Structure 1
Amino acid sequence: MLTQERRRKILDLLEEQGSVTVARLSEEFNSSESTIRRDLVALSQLGKLNKVHGGATVLSQQFLKNEDTVEEKSLKYVDEKVAVAKYAASQISDDDFVFIDAGSTTYLMTKYIKSTKATFVTNGIAHAKKLARKGCKVYVLGGQLKDTTEAIIGLVAASNLQKYNFSKAFIGTNGISEKQGFTTPDTDEAMLKAVAVERSFVAYILADHSKFNKVSAVTFAPLDAGCIVCDRCDDETLKQKSVIKEVV
Structure 2
Amino acid sequence: MLTKQRHEMILKLLEEKGSITVTEIRDLLKASESTVRRDITALDKEGRLVKVFGGAIANKQSVTSHEYTVAQKEDFSREEKEKIGKFAASFIEPEDFIYLDAGTTTAYMLNYIEEKSATYVTNAVVHAQRLVAKGMKVLLIGGELKASTEAVIGSQAVQTIKNYHFTKGFFGVNGVTKQSGFTTPDASEAAVKQVAVEQCRKSFILCDYSKFDEISSVTFASFYEGEIITDRRISGYEDCKNIIIAR
If the TM-score is normalised by the length of the shorter chain, which range does it land in? 0.7 to 0.9
Unmatched 5+ stretches in structure 1 = 1-59
Aligned to 1:175: 175
* Amino acid aligned to 2:244: K
Aligned to 2:77: 77
- Residues 174 and 184 of structure 1 are in contact (CA less than 8 Å); yes or no, is this contact kept in structure 2? yes
Aligned to 2:161: 161
How far residue 242 of structure 1 moved from its aligned partner, in angstroms, is 5.0
How far apart in 2 are the matches of 1:194 and 1:241? Answer: 21
Alignment of 1:1-248 (within 5 A): 61-236=61-236, 238-247=237-246
How far apart in 1 are the matches of 2:239 and 2:62? Answer: 21
- Residues 224 and 242 of structure 1 are in contact (CA less than 8 Å); yes or no, is this contact kept in structure 2? no
**1:217–1:108 Cα change, 3 Å:** same
Number of residues of Structure 1 aligned to a counterpart in Structure 2: 189
How far residue 233 of structure 1 moved from its aligned partner, in angstroms, is 3.5
Unmatched 5+ stretches in structure 2 = 1-59
| Paired residue secondary structure (1:111) | coil
- Residues 194 and 221 of structure 1 are in contact (CA less than 8 Å); yes or no, is this contact kept in structure 2? yes
- Residues 223 and 242 of structure 1 are in contact (CA less than 8 Å); yes or no, is this contact kept in structure 2? no
**Sequence identity of aligned pairs in percent?**
43
The TM-score with structure 2 as length reference comes to 0.74
Cα deviation per residue 1:6-63 (whole Å; 9 max; x = unaligned)?
xxxxxxxxxxxxxxxxxxxxxxxxxxxxxxxxxxxxxxxxxxxxxxxxxxxxxx8432
The TM-score with structure 1 as length reference comes to 0.74
| CA RMSD in angstroms, aligned pairs only | 1.5
- Residues 65 and 186 of structure 2 are in contact (CA less than 8 Å); yes or no, is this contact kept in structure 1? no
